[in-house]
Each structure stands twice: as structure tokens, then as C-alpha cells.
Structure 1
């Protein structure tokens, strides 16, 4: 199954619910393969990539969103970026970190760390990007993003994400959902949805049964009429290029660039997101330095 996302809204105005569901298996596999992540890091990064994909569906035009998880655990940080077209990229600070299973499950919370912050940055094509910061809630990714949406953006939200691995450590499946209650809220319907989510089998089991994102929304809404009004693909895509890397080098400042030029005949810069390598000669770096001076 190709990776894709669907968006739906309830047909009953009094319910006023928005539902988004997606499958991200290929996307997560490709990103984690490039970064050679351990099983624990794969699950953590995969969850964050899926969360980014779900949030990307709330964007318009050329808007972008970035999620940064920074905790006191050994993974250090996870950074994911996504745009309104469903292009997603991301990386984890220490990809080789692997921890023992906790009650048969990957210990993502310990890998990220209980103490830390989630930063959500939205480029809405305005003068300045919007940035919201909340403390990590459970460090389980989905719960943290839902907590951010509920507390910071004042939109009651529930998110579920699953990343299931083969015994080899390869990604077997990945996907998730996001439900949001828009004003005016129907507390009875919300309570019913919460109960359904709590009673659901693990998402990995749901997707393993070859259920689609559409079927996932149908399972969640069940007796609540809803309409799917959008479906679009999700892909891993990095926006790096040599000109963009040059702009990043400018941010180092004149003093640091001068030092690099004096020490190195040729400098290699590696994109943190896709591991692409860019070579800069001393002459090219001197040209970059000249733009600063």
C-alpha cells in the first residue's frame, strides 16, 4: 500500500468533528534506512514522522510545520518537518540508541526522556513563523502532540500512532489518526469517541488486518455520519540543495568561516535530514564569506 492521508468531517453539524488518518510505512522505512536507526530510534522517529504527516494536513498553500522533541533521554532530540503537500522529512539526534523492551513494548518515553519540551513551529507564510512550546506530557509522541493541540491551540484532540517492526528491525507498517473537536463541541459525542479509542485494539493489529485509513475513520466514527473530502499521498522529500547549504554556512558567521577556510582545502557538509553530501572548495567558501563582509 502506498502512503497516503485522508481527511474527513462529520456530516452532522452538531457533532462538528474532524478526523484524519494515514499510513506512513514507506515514508518511515525510507527515513530510518537513511539514518540507520536502531529499533528503538526507528519507532520514536517513525511516530514523530507520522505525527508530522497528520499535522501537515491542517496546512494550506505553501505552509510548513516543524516538530522538535527535546528531552533528557539518550536520543537527545527528534526533528520533523512537513508541508501542506504531504512531503515529510526528519532525523533523530542519536540514531544508534536502543533500549530494552518495557513490558514487551519499545521504551520510547525513556529514550526521549521524561523532562523536556515539544516545540511546534508553523511557517504560515506570514512575517514571522508561529511557535508554540509545551513541556513533554508523556514522551510517547502522539500524546504529546495531542496535549499541545489541546492546551496551546485550544482544540480538543486525540492522536494515535503505531510503528510496527519486523524481527529484523525493518518497518513493517506505520500509520495513525488525529481526531479534533471544533466549536461548538458536543460533550456526549466526545465522551463516546474517547471510549471507543480506549477500547480499540492496538493500531498495529488494525493495520495488520489490511485496514485502510478510510476504514480507520469508519471504525472511529462508526454511527456518526461523516464525509471524506480529501486524499493525498505522503512522501519523504528533503528540500536541501547547495544554495540552501550556503545560506546555512552564512549563519556560522565570518569568524568561523574564516577559520574553516584557513584550515581546510575542501569542506564537506552533510544534510542532517537526508545525509546528502555537499562539497565546498576553499574558493567557494571565500565567495560565501565575501557575501557576509
Structure 2
């Protein structure tokens, strides 16, 4: 089944909701960065949240999330846009702390329980919007819940989950964001809180095959969900050989000469997708000649 997310409203527009199935996206990220299972879960949760937050934007708007804890996998960095495209990386992909007593992956140990979660939104204005909050648990979903309530003053509930099976295969990944709008009644809030308290873990629901629409119905109630948009989502990096070439061209001429004479070429790897770009001495010479012509 393909990954996608839905945007929805409920209870006469007093509740805004998002839900995502991101299994293939998270597997792609795990493959690219060769993450161990606990880091796969951490990166996957952050990717799911970032993709849903990107869906809150419009047009060419985009955002960057940085989760910087005191754990060995931090920081985690996510880029996302309004078209369902996201990318991300972690500082240390090969981390796998001992599981919790419950048997669950110890994401908070990998991420850290002290630190910050920051969001920078590029909305096409002169200044970017920036919000930052301290981490509350390092489990990521709780940290985003706190971020929305504190930095954006929007009461929200965030659920995120990743199931990693044998051979490091992602068997299910997804999440939801439920947000209360002005006018939400106490009765509505009580119903949602009760459903959230009774529901299975989000990762289990995705693994069982529930669609994003069905996940929202589980939380908000059958017949209450009005889907207003649906979009495919994927791990998508914006790096390219041309971009790297332009970056090299922006360097001082002496630096390019040093790459040619001392290093015999250049190699760079994209943090976000782990793709490596190689430039021979001849490539660098051509870049320098083009620089001279500008």
C-alpha cells in the first residue's frame, strides 16, 4: 500500500486533524542512512510528524525541524514542504539502547530527555517563523504535543509510531495530529480524550492495516470525519550534482585550486539522503574556468 496523508475536519470545523501512513518513507530513510532499529523508530516518528506539519503549509512554503537532545542519536533534522515531500537525518545512525521493561524500543534513550525541539518555517516572508521548546520526554510525539501547545498556542494531541520487524524491516509507520480550534465544546473534548485513552498504539493500528481515514475515525468517531484533502508522501531530497557544483563554484578560487592540487578531486556526501558526489580534477578545473567567466 502506498504512503499518503489526509487532512480532515470534525465537529463542525472545531477540530482539525491529520493522519499519515509513512511505512515506505521511513523504510527509505532507514535504507539510506543504514539506521539501527531504535534510530529507525526515532527518525521515522520525526519524519511522520514533519510531513504532517508540512501539509499545514501552502504553496512553496517549507519548514525545518531540529530535535536536539542529550542522547547519542541527536540531533535529528527534518525538512518538509507542502507537497508531501520530506527528508531527514540523524547524527548517529548506529545506536540501539536496551529496550524498555515493556519490550518497546527505547527511543527516549537514543534521542535524550533533555534538550530542545525547534521549528523554522519559511513562509516566503522577509523573516522566518521560529519556535522552540524544551524536550519533555524524548519520545517525540509528546514533544510535538508540547510544541504545539506552547509555541503555536494550539491544543493538540500527537501520536507517532514505527514498528521495526526482523532484518530491520519497517512493518508499519504512521501518526496523527489532532488540534482543537476555537469553539470546540467540552463534550467534544471529552469524547476525543476518551477515544485516545482507549485506542491501541498508533504503530499497531498501522501494522494492522488501518488507513489514515480509519485512524481518524477511531479517534474522532465514525461519521464525524470530513476529509478535505489527501496527498501522497515520500522521502525526497533536493540535493543534486548541479547544486553541489554551484556550491563549489561559490568557494574562493584558492580553495578550489587546493582541491585540485592537494586532494586530486573532491567528494561530498549529502547529510539528508547520504548520496555521495565525486568531482575529478577535470571537473573542478571546469568549474573554476566557469567561475572565471562570470
TM-score by length of 2: 0.90
Q: Partners in 1 of 2:259 and 2:229 — Cα distance?
A: 49
Correspondence for 1:12 = 12
Correspondence for 1:147 = 146
Q: Summarize deviations over 1:205-244 as a string: whole Å, max 9, x none.
A: 2223321111111111116733111011011111001232
Q: Partners in 1 of 2:223 and 2:142 — Cα distance?
A: 24
Correspondence for 1:36 = 34
Q: Partners in 2 of 1:71 and 1:248 — Cα distance?
A: 30
Aligned partner (choices 80, 83, 90) of residue 88 of structure 2:
90
SS at structure 1 position matched to 2:200 = coil
SS at structure 2 position matched to 1:228 = strand
Correspondence for 1:217 = 216
Q: How many residues align?
A: 290
Correspondence for 2:186 = 187
- Per mean C-alpha deviation after superposition, the further-off stretch among 135-144 and 186-195 is 186-195
Give 5+ residue unaligned stretches, structure 1: none
Q: Partners in 1 of 2:250 and 2:113 — Cα distance?
A: 32
* 1:179–1:248 CA distance, 2 compared to 1 (3 A): farther
Q: Summarize deviations over 1:239-268 as a string: whole Å, max 9, x none.
A: 001232245557877786665455311010
Describe how 1:48-67 pairs up with structure 2 within 5 A.
Answer: 48-67=46-65
Q: Summarize deviations over 1:46-86 as a string: whole Å, max 9, x none.
A: 11111111111101001111111111111121111111110
Q: Partners in 2 of 1:187 and 1:249 — Cα distance?
A: 58
SS at structure 1 position matched to 2:168 = coil
Q: Partners in 1 of 2:128 and 2:253 — Cα distance?
A: 26
Contact residue 56 and residue 64 of structure 1 kept, 8 A: yes
* 1:25 positional shift: 0.3
SS at structure 2 position matched to 1:33 = helix
Correspondence for 2:104 = 105
SS at structure 2 position matched to 1:168 = helix
Contact residue 28 and residue 174 of structure 1 kept, 8 A: yes
* 1:168 positional shift: 2.0
Correspondence for 1:237 = 236
- Per mean C-alpha deviation after superposition, the further-off stretch among 225-234 and 248-257 is 248-257
Q: Partners in 1 of 2:117 and 2:220 — Cα distance?
A: 29
Contact residue 163 and residue 174 of structure 1 kept, 8 A: yes
SS at structure 1 position matched to 2:110 = helix
* 1:101–1:254 CA distance, 2 compared to 1 (3 A): farther
| Cα RMSD (Å) | 2.3
Q: Partners in 1 of 2:108 and 2:255 — Cα distance?
A: 37
SS at structure 1 position matched to 2:266 = strand
Q: Partners in 1 of 2:71 and 2:166 — Cα distance?
A: 25
Correspondence for 1:132 = 131
Q: Partners in 2 of 1:257 and 1:189 — Cα distance?
A: 62
* 1:282 positional shift: 4.6
* 1:288 positional shift: 6.1
SS at structure 2 position matched to 1:90 = strand
Q: Partners in 1 of 2:256 and 2:185 — Cα distance?
A: 58
